[in-house]
Structure 1
Amino acid sequence: MAHVVTSRCFGCKYTDCVVVCPVDSFREGEQMLFIDPEICICCDQCVSECPVDAIFAEDDVPDAEREFVQLNAEMAVQCPEITQKKTPLIER
């Protein structure tokens, strides 16, 4: 099981979560972040760091957001790794 970034990240892309990840499982898409499920160790550190509550354990992803489980897996292999905090796309 891994953590999943959901739609709440789209368009804002806060990176507070990235700097606390001990295994560098985050990937940077153009409009949002993704978590590589092959690397994530489900340590929960990123969950509390997300200011928009966009990250869930895979089993806890809301039904309306279930498509993001597969999307994270697909995009993780296409997007570059991100390990440092960046300016978000927008402030909420």
Structure 2
Amino acid sequence: MVTTSESDKSDKAVPAQRLIFGRRLRTLRERVGLTQTAAAAAAGMDRSFYVEVESARHGVSVDRVPALAKALGVEPYKLFTDD
């Protein structure tokens, strides 16, 4: 039987849109001066989940986008576009 080590799992391709979204989320959060803990709390989500979204380990549903945008003080579309 072949097993996959933890490092092999991290090498799997992450969808490009998830990477872009996570980077954009981090950029906007840093721009407004929030910590990950503060941004997560403002968006009504667990800090560990927020960190995984920002680092592209997890994606978010469209249902969470408005709360994330509100927490960062931007319109939802700003989470998907560069300034």
Bigger helix fraction: 2
Output the TM-score relative to the length of structure 1.
Answer: 0.36
Relative contact order: is structure 1 or structure 2 higher (C-alpha 8 Å, sep ≥ 6)?
1
Output the TM-score relative to the length of structure 2.
Answer: 0.39
Larger Rg computed on CA atoms: 2
Bigger strand fraction: 1
